[in-house]
Amino acid sequence: MTSFIDDLIGYVGLDADVQARLRALHPLLQPHFEDVARRFYAAIDAAPAAASLLDGPDQIARLRGTLVDWMSTGLLGPYDDRFYEKRSRIGRRHVQIGLAQHFMFSAVNVVRTTYIELIARLVAPNEVVGACRAINKLLDLELALMLRHYQIDSEERLVQRERDILSDRLASMQTLSAGLAHEVRNPLNAARLQLELLERRLRRQLGAESPLIEQTVLAGHEIERLTELLNDFLAFARPPELHVRDHDVVAICRQVLELERPLAEKRSITVELRTPGPVVASVDSGKIHQVIQNLVRNAIEAAPTGGQVDVEVVRDGGTTHLRVRDNGGGIPAETMARIYEPFFSTKQNGTGMGMAIVHSLVTLHGGRIAIDTGARGTAIDVSLPAHARTPQQPA
């Protein structure tokens, strides 16, 4: 049984005795289901805002049949996965058509009131209170199941709003980064060229052992470090352009793990790819390579000495999931709040571009990132659609 409905049944007290009372009520109430349905839709018709969501008599006739089935299965049960799924379809439909929650409460209250009126007439006096309590527990369960989908919808809207805000912020940062990178690249290249010429002249005139040679080498290393930082800027700021083809994502993972294995071995980290067979997806292989490399490198750096990093690729319907897990200490809440923020880093020599680049490239593919972190480690799940959208396609 679905754990949510199992917990809910326990919470409202829909125990075996209550369920038996409900089943006993079914033959008494069933002959009146059509009348209950008529009163139900009469109440909806009296509320113009709710009535406007319906398409006319034909739809109401179909919905009345659905309502009769809902009343019957509500009394008879069983309260299992099928019961939960049937109620979930109703709840999702209410959300889809935009039915306000207060109309749902009012409509269910029509059923509740009519049931109680019928029980008062049809049930033995000494059984009325128990029967009414059983009905109240059942309808409280029904309301909770329907409300769950309003809650899910609200959460999804909130998450989408946060994603939109983040995307707008990243787009602004990409524009800034692109301008800065292009302004810096030319003078940096010129400085590197002049430094190489200076080093060659010093070697000819003063010899390879001159202290000045060492200083120019150090300056060259700093220019290389700035060049790497500039490349990170460009990777983040590069205009959205995908070159999508079918690629084996598992093969891309193997390439990345070979590149990152020396770092893992240096820290005694065990890195395992837990997907034996190929998983083909429509992706830009270069960009997905960069996504995997950033995630794997972060995981290796987060894992303790002698720790474990697992990489997994799975297909779930039309979605490819790329999962990277470590057994480190987790990501602090204050870091999670800024994890995709460009230039934010908790590493001593970090540029703060890694996760910003990951988010940019995954979003470019039309994918999403989910992060589950805690004291036992961090798991990052990148979900990629079957067909990544190209810049020419609408988002």
Q: Which two tokens stand for residue 132?
A: 């009414």
C-alpha to C-alpha distance for 135 and 37, rounded to whole angstroms: 17
What is the SS3 string spanning 167-182? HHHHHHHHHHHHHHHH
Residue 246's pLDDT is what? 92
> Contact, 292 vs 255, CB < 8 A?
no
| Interval 209-240: pLDDT, tens | 777 888 888 888 888 878 877 776 666 666 55
| Interval 156-206: pLDDT, tens | 666 667 667 766 766 666 666 666 666 677 788 888 888 888 888 888 888
Residue 297's pLDDT is what? 92
* Residues of the chain scoring pLDDT < 50: 1, 389-395
Alpha helices in the chain (DSSP H): 3-12, 16-29, 33-45, 48-51, 57-76, 81-97, 101-122, 128-206, 211-237, 249-266, 285-302, 333-336, 354-364
C-alpha to C-alpha distance for 278 and 248, rounded to whole angstroms: 6
Buried b (16+ CB within 10 A) or exposed e, 19-43: bebbeebbeebeebbeebbeebbeb
Tokens 């270069």, located at residue: 286
